[in-house]
Amino acid sequence: MMTVLLPSPLRARADDRACARSRPCRRSLLAVARRLAVQPALALALLGAVASPALAQVTVSEAWVRGTVPGMKATGAFMRIESRADTRLVAAASPVAPVVEIHEMAMVDNVMRMRAIPGLAVPAGKPVDLRPGGYHVMLMDLPRPLERGTTAPITLTFQSGDGRRETVKVAAEVRPLAAGAPPVQGGASAPASGHSHR
């Protein structure tokens, strides 16, 4: 589309120059009219071309991390993820943790355990909640405690079916260690309560 439209203003300018030498000049009027009609479309096309890679498909809100105390090497990050198109959370990274994984909670031998998953589907228009007792982003091998009141930057990578990747950066609020503990049910344990992760 752009390659077709781009030469038009140039052609119109050439018409103007020809017209300066021969009057009356209907071609020039036509060219101006055409330019007026074409340029908004061209501007929109250019805008679209520039804007679309940055146009977020994915929105992450309410991101928070359970704070830790000295000696705690791992904790969970929670958030709501929404996407306008089908996508997948395929990776997460954070400067506060050298190892970051995507985890799910699953019942194993009647005990709720967490385990790493390669990705988490985010269907178009259906928010996916990462919350205590469910999916979470696991921050591991923490070199120092995450203190409440600070924020933990997390970069989330999403990949759509056609392979296109989008990264979303969030500043997750560090909440108290006891924040958001799920109701105790059948021995369920919240992420970050000290169980093993591998």
Q: Which of 138, 168, 170, 174 contacts Cu ion by CB under 5 A? A: 138
Cα–Cα dist 99/96, whole Å = 9
Query: What is the pairing mode between strands 136-140 and 99-108?
Result: antiparallel
Cβ closer to Cu ion: 130 or 170?
130
Provide the terminal-to-terminal Cα distance of the chain, rounded to the nearest Å.
51
Centre a 10 Å sphere on the Cβ of residue 159 and count the other Cβ atoms it contains.
15
The span of 1-9, 18-26, 47-55, 187-195 binding Cu ion (CB under 5 A) equals 187-195
Cβ closer to Cu ion: 76 or 145?
76
b vs e for 86-112, b when ≥16 Cβ sit within 10 Å of the residue's Cβ?
ebbbebbbbebbeebbbbebeeeeeeb
Footprint of Cu ion on 91-120 (CB under 5 A): 103, 114
CB of residue 129 to Cu ion, shortest distance in Å:
15
Cβ closer to Cu ion: 160 or 193?
193
Is residue 81 near Cu ion by the rule CB under 5 A? no
The span of 5-13, 48-56, 59-67, 190-198 binding Cu ion (CB under 5 A) equals 190-198
Cα–Cα dist 114/106, whole Å = 6
CB of residue 74 to Cu ion, shortest distance in Å:
7
Q: Would you tell me which residues interact with Cu ion (CB under 5 A)?
A: 103, 114, 138, 191
